[in-house]
Amino acid sequence: MIFRLLPILIVTSLSACVKDSSKLKMIRRPYVQNVWADSASVIWKTNVQTDNCHIMYGINQVYADKMGKTVKNPDGTFTHTVTLTGLQQGQRYKYTVYNDNVMLDNSEMNFIDAQRTDSTVGFSFLAFGDMGRNPYDDGFPQVTATQILALPRHPDFITALGDIVYPSGESSKYDEYLFGPFAYAFSNIPFYPALGNHDWGVNPDENFCKEWKLPNNEHYYSYNYQNTHFITLDSKDGDFYNFAEQKAWLINDLQQAQGLYDFIVVSLHHPGRNCTYKGDGANVMTLYPIFAQYNVDLVLNGHAHTYERLHPFDANGNVLEQFRNNIQQYPDLPNGFISITAGAGGVLQPNFTPDGCNLAAKQYHRGHFIQFEISGKKLTAKAYDLQSGLVFDQFDMQK
């Protein structure tokens, strides 16, 4: 109903550039990126070049038109990006994408929730890794996407914990293994991925970085949502991309964030100290003193295709013993942080049984993702089983 008048409007305004568009096809549905309080980007792909790309967007039935930019890809397809500015925080904008005079997609799932800036309203985000796996082999990205869309609370964004697309992070697999299964989630939930070792199977600058529109250098970056600061790192093969430079950037970023946020969350692909089958990540562990010193609350990783929530660690990766006995409710952790492996967002490690190690508050070996909610000084985490849709682990942090 809302969009019924749009084709008429567009035909009228763009009649000068009508041409044969019978070959025009959308080959990747629109996805949203960099959704902040006052701006957002919408990206999609077509098979042929067009004279222009644009979206109609608005609140209720009042629509504006915004033109975008088109880039030709090495495979001969075309990526279209429209960046909206001047959005009103907290508003939901519906959008419809067009190339020339052709309306390509007007799904009800195409919407942007401009960030709400009031931290008492709260927000929600998802975390999981290792998702873009072949659904006709051992992968289940479509199950993850279906469960996300069934959540009682719509997530404001996803922080993705690396190994975004298997087997090697190549652009040619993105549609089949990731954008296809997640099509109706990505059109309204911004996705902020970390690079994993599989994403480094090809040159990320020629693949990963061309699929996403992310802050900073796209390998490592930070952003804020209400009262929370988010940092995404690039741990490459476990040895980190430009480690000295990235570490200096991390320290500076954390220093800048001190005192401004109630929570700080770090996402990266490799675990540090852990009990999974992957072994300890020595380079990640060298960052522990930094995490502890600069008040990081959560360190989220993938890589091991299982779930493992560890007891709060200190700067040396030792368990803060005073928090061992109440694993459901935490206060502000003094110079400590909680490390969680959530690496079965699209594939589960076969023939693995958690060993019941004493570092872990909870181990669980099924496909999963975590939904975090932060409202004021309270953080709540709920980990969902992908098969049952039920919560299997839960904890709070109250500052």
Binding-site ranges for Fe ion (CB under 5 A): 163, 196-197, 303
- Burial class, 3, CB count within 10 angstroms (exposed 0-12 / middle 13-18 / buried 19+): middle
* Cβ atoms of 145 and 390 closer than 8 Å: no
Of residues 319 and 370, the one with the C-beta less far from Fe ion: 370
Would the CA dihedral through 293, 294, 298, 301 be positive or negative? negative
CB of 125: closest distance to Fe ion in angstroms? 21
Q: How many CA atoms lie within 13 A of 169 on its CB side?
A: 25
Chain residue whose CB lies nearest Fe ion: 303
CB of 159: closest distance to Fe ion in angstroms? 16
CB of 269: closest distance to Fe ion in angstroms? 6
By C-alpha distance, which of 155, 157, 249 is closest to 212? Answer: 157
Would the CA dihedral through 275, 277, 279, 283 be positive or negative? negative
Of residues 164 and 333, the one with the C-beta less far from Fe ion: 164
Of residues 113 and 163, the one with the C-beta less far from Fe ion: 163
CB of 308: closest distance to Fe ion in angstroms? 15
Q: How many CA atoms lie within 13 A of 365 on its CB side?
A: 12
CB of 303: closest distance to Fe ion in angstroms? 4
Both structure tokens of 63: 């629509």
Both structure tokens of 354: 């958690």
Compute the C-alpha angle 365/370/372, nearest 5°. 155
CB of 161: closest distance to Fe ion in angstroms? 9
Of residues 121 and 282, the one with the C-beta less far from Fe ion: 282
Of residues 41 and 207, the one with the C-beta less far from Fe ion: 207
Of residues 344 and 381, the one with the C-beta less far from Fe ion: 344
